[in-house]
């Protein structure tokens, strides 16, 4: 199993290109199941989760190509990937595929809307909490689907098609918003989704659906209206830049000092996180080409944050910000409100010398003047990169184990950081 070796102490200077957003690419890829024509997606990142979803879509009969040819496994750069689901050959998403990636459950919406039936394995829990799919099922039932849970599968039927209706989410859910928005595009009549997720990835999906002939309005607000159409067609659409990758590298620069331009990043996608960095004493400058992050000389100031749905502070940047606060000049409080059990990185940061105590859903971080390198273990995607951030500033060598988590969400991480002066390398087992 691969590991990452880091020797800390170097400042970061230069340019880091920001990849397409994984959390936007996945629902866009799934939207290809809604039409028999080709959906071409630009700026698709090369990540383990993307490759897994390509396999899942292939199981349903979707073909794909990259720039007119079959995917090359050693491709390292942003790609245009073409998906064509002309014939859906199987409406079952089996456990052995869905269990490897929760987002693959989302195929239930497009399959049900287009084919009138879908049988999708329940994804089960994950390292950061249970994240149940009850909102997905309740919402689809509101649109007229008959859904039975049997032998670990959600078996959904709508033989006469879905019927538009009003659905109020009991709590904000990005995944359920994606699924119901996709399903409603082919429903008869109008669907109104209230208390919907407002994340940029939801807006990106809505824009793609509209390019395919859907009638979606209100994305980016808490009320989304979808007027159903009889069919969708092909389109070309671009994946937005990854706001979580942007925030992660911004925090790495804040942690180590230096001056880096995050090329292609969009400040409007993560204003809350950038505001927190500014409060910590980091210079944040939006540019036409991206965002400039600079911290030279001054120490890191402590900042309290609470994770919230967009436009609040993203839960997917909580671990990284905690890594930054481990060397702040004082005490900070980090409260997690989105997922239970998302503080597993605390014990690993403590191995590097961090001083963190937990009080319910709040982590109290007392900054230290210096971290010390040590072997650490990645527990999930975002936790793993928080250890990289801490390791970049730690004295001596840090070895991050189980880095397959990183490969799910960060494209060419070692290459991007080393190009800016970090001493970081992958050790293959």
Q: Are 36 and 235 in contact (CB under 8 A)?
A: no
pLDDT band at 297 (very low <50, low <70, confident <90, very high): confident
Q: Are 199 and 308 in contact (CB under 8 A)?
A: no
pLDDT band at 100 (very low <50, low <70, confident <90, very high): confident
pLDDT band at 77 (very low <50, low <70, confident <90, very high): low
69 annotated ligand-binding residue: no
**The residue count for the chain:** 429
> Looking at residue 330, what is its pLDDT?
98
102 annotated ligand-binding residue: yes
pLDDT tens, 221-259? Answer: 999 999 999 999 999 999 999 999 999 999 999 999 999
23 annotated ligand-binding residue: yes
- What is d(CA 370, CA 367) in angstroms, rounded to the nearest whole number? 9
**Torsion region of 189: left, alpha or beta (phi above 0 gives left; psi -120 to 50 gives alpha):** left
| C-alpha dist (Å) from residue 49 to 107, 181, 411 | 15, 22, 11
What integer best gives the mean pLDDT of the chain?
93
Name the one residue in this structure whose structure tokens are 């793609």: 208
> Looking at residue 429, what is its pLDDT?
74
Indicate whether 130 pLDDT > 50. Answer: no
- Two tokens at 343? 């503080």
Q: Give the CA count within 13 Å in the CB-facing half-sphere of 139.
A: 34
341 annotated ligand-binding residue: no
Angle (CA) 1 383 41, round 5°: 80
Mean pLDDT of 307-318: 96
- Two tokens at 4? 């990452």
Say which CATH superfamily domain 3-18+241-427 falls into.
Enolpyruvate transferase domain (3.65.10.10)
> Is 420 marked active-site?
no
Q: Give the CA count within 13 Å in the CB-facing half-sphere of 48.
A: 11
CA dihedral 355, 256, 362, 279 (to 10 degrees): 130
pLDDT tens, 30-61? Answer: 999 999 999 999 999 999 999 999 999 999 99
- Bridge partner list, 215: 227
Alpha-carbon radius of gyration of the chain: 22
Beta pairing, strands 215-217 & 223-227: antiparallel
Q: Are 62 and 35 in contact (CB under 8 A)?
A: no
| Residue 296: partners with Cβ closer than 8 Å, 6 or more residues away | 11, 257, 258, 259
- What is d(CA 85, CA 234) in angstroms, rounded to the nearest whole number? 10
pLDDT tens, 178-216? Answer: 999 999 999 999 999 999 999 999 999 999 999 999 999
Set 7, 126, 229, 399: catalytic member:
126
Indicate whether 126 pLDDT > 60. Answer: no
Mean pLDDT of 128-136: 68
137 annotated ligand-binding residue: no
- Bridge partner list, 64: 83
- What is d(CA 87, CA 90) in angstroms, rounded to the nearest whole number? 9
Cis before 270 (ω within 30): no
- Say how many C-beta atoms besides its own lie within 10 A of residue 242's C-beta: 30
Q: Are 122 and 43 in contact (CB under 8 A)?
A: no
- Per residue, the 3-state secondary structure of 158-203, as one string, reads CCCCCECCEEECCCCCHHHHHHHHHHHCCCECEEEEECCCCCHHHH
Q: Are 401 and 1 in contact (CB under 8 A)?
A: yes
Instruction: Name which of 325, 346, 312, 309 is nearest 251 in CA terms.
Output: 325
Q: Are 421 and 3 in contact (CB under 8 A)?
A: no
Choose which CATH entry (3.40.50.300, 3.65.10.10, 1.10.287.3510, 3.40.50.620) describes domain 22-238: 3.65.10.10
- What is d(CA 117, CA 158) in angstroms, rounded to the nearest whole number? 6
**Same CATH fold assignment for domains 3-18+241-427 and 22-238:** yes
> Looking at residue 1, what is its pLDDT?
81
Name the one residue in this structure whose structure tokens are 């019927």: 163
275 annotated ligand-binding residue: no
22 annotated ligand-binding residue: yes
> Looking at residue 340, what is its pLDDT?
74
Domain boundaries, the chain: 3-18+241-427, 22-238
Least confident piece of the model among 6-15, 71-80, 279-288, 356-365? 71-80
pLDDT tens, 141-176? Answer: 999 999 999 998 999 999 999 999 999 999 999 999
| Residue 330: partners with Cβ closer than 8 Å, 6 or more residues away | 301, 302, 366, 367
The Cα diameter of the chain in Å comes to 66
Say if residue 140 is exposed, middle or buried (CB neighbours under 10 Å; 0-12, 13-18, 19+).
buried
- Two tokens at 408? 């799910």
75 annotated ligand-binding residue: no
Three-class secondary structure of residue 25 per DSSP: helix
pLDDT band at 333 (very low <50, low <70, confident <90, very high): very high
Better-scored residue on pLDDT, 215 or 77 = 215
Return the percentage of the chain with pLDDT > 70, whole number: 96
DSSP result, 19-54: PBPHHHHHHHHHHGGG-SSEEEEEEE---HHHHHHH
> Looking at residue 125, what is its pLDDT?
44
188 annotated ligand-binding residue: no
Q: Are 119 and 146 in contact (CB under 8 A)?
A: no
pTM, whole model, 2 decimals? Answer: 0.94
DSSP result, 146-161: EEEEETTEEEEE-TT-
């Amino acid at each position: 199993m691969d590991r990452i070796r880091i020797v800390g102490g170097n400042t970061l200077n230069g340019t880091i290109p920001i990849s397409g957003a994984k959390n936007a690419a996945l629902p866009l890829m799934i939207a290809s199941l809604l039409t028999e024509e080709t959906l071409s997606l630009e700026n698709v990142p090369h990540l383990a989760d993307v490759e897994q979803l390509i396999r899942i879509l292939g199981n349903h009969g979707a073909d794909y190509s990259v720039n007119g040819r079959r995917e090359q496994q050693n491709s390292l750069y942003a790609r245009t990937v073409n998906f064509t689901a002309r014939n859906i050959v199987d409406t079952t998403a089996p456990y052995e595929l869905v269990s490897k990636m929760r987002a693959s459950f989302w195929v239930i919406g497009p399959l049900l809307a287009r084919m009138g039936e879908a049988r999708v394995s329940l994804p089960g829990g994950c390292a950061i909490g249970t994240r149940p799919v009850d909102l997905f099922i309740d919402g689809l039932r509101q649109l007229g689907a008959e859904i039975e849970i049997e032998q670990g599968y959600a078996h959904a039927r709508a033989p006469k098609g879905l019927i538009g209706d009003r659905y109020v989410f009991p709590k904000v859910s990005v995944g359920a918003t994606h699924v119901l928005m996709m399903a409603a595009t082919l429903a008869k009549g109008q669907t109104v989704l209230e208390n919907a997720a407002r994340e940029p990835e939801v807006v990106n999906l809505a824009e793609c659906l509209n390019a395919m002939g859907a009638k979606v309005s209100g994305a980016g607000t808490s009320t989304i209206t979808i007027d159903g159409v009889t069919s969708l067609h092909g389109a070309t659409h671009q994946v937005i830049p990854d706001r979580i990758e942007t925030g992660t590298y911004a925090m790495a620069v804040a942690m180590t000092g230096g001056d880096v331009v995050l090329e292609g990043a969009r400040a409007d996608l993560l204003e809350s996180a950038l505001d927190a960095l500014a409060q910590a004493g980091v210079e944040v400058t939006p540019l036409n080409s991206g965002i400039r992050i600079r911290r030279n000389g001054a120490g890191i100031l402590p900042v309290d944050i609470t994770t919230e749905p967009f436009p609040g502070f993203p839960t997917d940047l909580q671990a990284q910000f905690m890594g930054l606060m481990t060397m702040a000049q004082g005490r900070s409080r980090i409260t997690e409100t989105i997922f239970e059990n998302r503080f597993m990185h605390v014990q690993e940061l403590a191995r590097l010398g961090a001083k963190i105590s937990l009080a319910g859903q709040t982590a109290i971080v007392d900054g230290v003047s210096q971290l010390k390198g040590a072997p650490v273990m990645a527990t999930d995607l975002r936790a793993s990169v928080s250890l990289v951030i801490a390791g970049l500033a730690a004295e001596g060598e840090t070895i991050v184990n189980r880095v397959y988590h990183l490969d799910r969400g960060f494209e060419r991480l070692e290459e991007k950081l080393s190009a800016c002066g970090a001493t970081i390398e992958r050790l293959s087992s």
